[in-house]
Chain A
Amino acid sequence: MSEDRLSRVFAALADPTRRDIVARLAVGDATVSQLAAPYNVSIQAVSKHLKVLEDAGLVSRSQDAQRRPRHLEAEVFDMMTAWIERYRRQAEERYRRLDAVLAAMDDDSEPTTNKGATS
């Protein structure tokens, strides 16, 4: 995947509505009106979001001229590694806060287990 392409993909996914659309297309193809249903926005607004996703290559439309259901390109999952890294970093950030909490905690309820030699 080229750098440009990747930038477009990330830009497309930077919007929460579009991420939601992607998550829902991951479950199965859907038409524009199906995709618009849960949102408080017009069909046109959803079409705009879909256009961005299509330009990024994340979503395509099938040949069914009547309904034109949108389809999530399997290639999006090639980005799993990126997602995993992002997810991992989030967990790491959370756990760094926990490090700080642990460091600041009083040892008020000393455990009764072996306190051992703390060298």
Chain B
Amino acid sequence: MSTNARQEAETRETTIEADPNLPIIRIIRDFDAPREKVFRAWIEPELVAQWLGPKSSEMRIDEWNARTGGNYRYAAVKNGEEVAAFYGSFHEVRPNERLVQTFTWEGMPDGVSLETMTFEDLGDGRTRTIGLSLVENLEARDAIMASGMDVGVNEGYEKLDALLAHN
């Protein structure tokens, strides 16, 4: 029981998989909390507001109706100004197991991805989440990956630059 927990703790850092041949991104992460709790943090807007989005303090949720057929919209806000907004539908909300959403960044209104989040009970009050994003093509996927540099680029990229320089 505890050996298991220790092994799992080692794999807790987020893992990202971007298949070179398929337009998907898979994000895997374990949490030290039971599945019901992790799921709640995904569907209750006051909890979601505290962690989703580029920066928790600059996140504004306009809609978060996490039920099958519901919708959502949220925005990143900087100095009172909306800098990026995202919206979509909840295609399926299966309590504690599965969350399927569409996702669009309003800056690219023709782009839509399908996000499937799976919640796995690891036992010992731990949970693994597997997020699968399916986008239209590899170019769109790569552009999304590139947009990962949007946030905190100034504080982050020098370090990354140095890191890469040594590899």
Contact = CB atoms under 8 A, between A and B. Distances in A.
B147 interface: yes
Interface of A: 3, 6-7, 10, 13-14, 16, 19, 22-23, 26-27, 77, 80, 82-92, 94-95, 97-103, 105, 107, 109, 111, 113, 118-119
B151 A77 contact: no
Contact of B148 (A7, A77, A86): A86
Contacts of B143: 22-23, 26
Nearest to B139: A26
B160 A82 contact: yes
A87 B41 contact: no
Nearest to A13: B149
Interface residues of B, number: 47
Given A14-B153, A16-B150, A119-B1, A94 B16 contact: no
A84 B18 contact: yes
Given A83-B148, A111-B36, A88 B165 contact: no
B32 to A, nearest CB: 7
Contacts of A113: 36
Interface stretch (B49-57, B61-69, B85-93, B112-120): B49-57
